[in-house]
Amino acid sequence: MHFIEIILIGLGLSFDTFAVSVSTGLTVNQIRFWQGVKVALVLAFFQGLMPLLGWLGGQVVEGYLRQLDHWIAFVLLAGLGLKILVDSFRESETKKLNPMVPAVLLGMAIATSIDALVVGVSLAFLEVDIWYAVAIIGFITFLASMLGMLLGKNVNGRFGKRVEVLGGLILVMIGLRILLSHLLT
């Protein structure tokens, strides 16, 4: 898997975190820099941890499913992308919650990183250095979270839905590329 594809996966995964961070900026309008760093670090940690856990699980079954790996990666990534697209048109409950409460922050981190677990499973079927991918995904998520809080604080969160749609489309496109590159070779 190429560097650009890992970055695109990181971007696709970080869009729901970005949307939650925008709502955090809206909810906690006077959020301070170090509070934002704390939120972003927790979100990035879970967004990086989940692909690793998914990859470990995928490694267990990878040998048995090797001939179907491209189909599994396609179904997981495209299915996740479509789910993100559908979810982007639903109303979010996160705007009503205070993300500075540790239990709420933990819930947000887990909820926004479940999709990364699925991506991790698909990464087990591809040639990828998982530590490299996890670091990139976590870093991109951290940046997206900080940017989201800044935007939510300053622009009223007008872009949240569009960004989630873009994230879903990116994951669907990567899934299609994996499938087509295998079928056309």
- The domains of the chain are located at 3-183
Model pTM?
0.73
C-alpha closest to that of 170 among 47, 12, 6, 3: 12
| End-to-end C-alpha distance for the chain, whole angstroms | 16
Other beta carbons within 10 angstroms of residue 183's beta carbon come to 10
SS3 41: helix
User: For residues 76 and 122, is the Cβ–Cβ distance under 8 A?
Assistant: yes
Comparing 170 with 103, the larger pLDDT belongs to 103
How confident is the model at residue 68, as a pLDDT?
A: 73
Rounded Cα–Cα distance for residues 45 and 85 (Å): 24
How confident is the model at residue 45, as a pLDDT?
A: 97
How confident is the model at residue 92, as a pLDDT?
A: 59
Rounded Cα–Cα distance for residues 77 and 5 (Å): 12
User: For residues 45 and 132, is the Cβ–Cβ distance under 8 A?
Assistant: no
Close Cβ partners of 2 (under 8 Å, ≥ 6 residues apart): none
Least confident of 13-17, 21-25, 34-38, 65-69: 65-69
Rounded Cα–Cα distance for residues 122 and 77 (Å): 7
Q: What is the DSSP letter of 67?
A: G
C-alpha closest to that of 161 among 88, 75, 59: 88
How confident is the model at residue 94, as a pLDDT?
A: 46
How confident is the model at residue 167, as a pLDDT?
A: 60
How confident is the model at residue 138, as a pLDDT?
A: 96
Rounded Cα–Cα distance for residues 99 and 152 (Å): 13
